[in-house]
Amino acid sequence: MRFELYSDEPDDRAVYITGNFNGWNPKDDEYLLRQVNDNTFLIDIDEQMLPDIIEYKFTKGGWENVELDKYGNITPNRKISKWEGKSLNTVEKWRLNWGPFKEEYFPIAEIISEEFYIPQLERYRKIWALLPYDYYISDKRYPVLYLQDAQNLFNEGSGYGNWEIDKKLSVLAEYGRGDVIIIAVEHGSEERIKEYIFDNDHVANGSEGKKYIRFITDTLKPFVDEHYRTKKDRDNTGIGGSSLGALISIYSGFLYPEVYSKLLIFSPSLWVEPNNNFPMMNFRVPFTTKIYLYGGAQEGSKMVKRIRIFEEYLKKWEKKNLFDFEFKTSINPEGTHQEFYWSQEFPRAIEWLFYNNTENPVEVKPQQKSFKN
Pairing label, strands 144-147, 237-242: parallel
Q: What is the pLDDT of residue 222?
A: 98
Contact 366, 172 (CB under 8 A): no
User: Distance between CA 205 and CA 212 in Å, rounded?
Assistant: 15
Residue 207 confidence (pLDDT) = 81
What angle do the packed helices 165-174 and 339-354 form, to 10 degrees? 40
301 vs 145 pLDDT, higher one: 145
Q: How confident is the model at residue 371 (pLDDT cuts 50, 70, 90)?
A: very low
Same domain, 114 and 14: no
Say if residue 65 is exposed, middle or buried (CB neighbours under 10 Å; 0-12, 13-18, 19+): buried
Shared domain for 66 and 145, answered yes or no, is no
Beta pairing class for 262-266 and 287-296: parallel
**Same-domain status, 177 and 326:** yes
What per-residue confidence (pLDDT) applies to 274? 83
Based on the fold, state whether residues 293 and 177 are members of the same structural domain: yes
Same domain (yes/no): 47, 80:
yes
Domain with residue 9: its CATH number is 2.60.40.10
> Does position 61 have pLDDT exceeding 90, yes or no?
yes
d(CA 147, CA 319): 29
What CA–CA distance (Å, rounded) separates 358 from 78? 17
Return the pLDDT at 361.
Answer: 55
Residue-wise pLDDT tens digits, 98-123: 999 999 999 999 999 999 999 999 99
Residue after which a domain boundary falls, among 94, 115, 134: 94
Are 221 and 278 part of one and the same domain? Answer: yes
Could you say which of 62, 94, 126 is where a domain stops?
Answer: 94
Beta-carbon contacts of residue 287 (< 8 Å; ≥ 6 apart):
234, 257, 258, 261, 323, 324
Would you say residue 1 has pLDDT above 90? yes
The gap between the terminal CA atoms of the chain, to the nearest Å, is 38
Read off the pLDDT of residues 74-97 as tens digits, 9 standing for 90 and up: 999 999 999 999 999 999 999 998
Please give the residue range of the domain that contains residue 169. 103-354
| Same domain, yes or no: 31 and 63 | yes
Q: Which of 143, 82, 136 is nearest to 109 (CA)?
A: 136
**93 φ/ψ angles, rounded to the nearest 5 degrees:** -145, 165
Tally of structural domains, the chain: 2
Is 370 within a domain?
A: no
pTM to 2 decimal places: 0.89
- Do 335 and 199 lie in a common domain? yes
Q: Clarify whether residues 171 and 251 are in a common domain.
A: yes
Same domain, 7 and 40: yes
Is the pLDDT confidence value at 364 over 60? Answer: no
136 shares a domain with 250: yes
- What three-state secondary structure class fits 154? coil
Q: Please tell me the least confidently modeled range out of 25-29, 114-118, 187-191.
A: 187-191
pLDDT digits 0-9 by tens, 295-340: 999 998 899 999 999 999 999 888 887 788 999 999 999 999 999 9
Where a domain ends, among 69, 94, 119?
94
Dist CA 127 CA 148 (whole Å) = 10
pLDDT score, position 202: 64
Whether residues 221 and 147 share a domain: the answer is yes
To the nearest whole number, what is the mean pLDDT of the chain?
A: 90
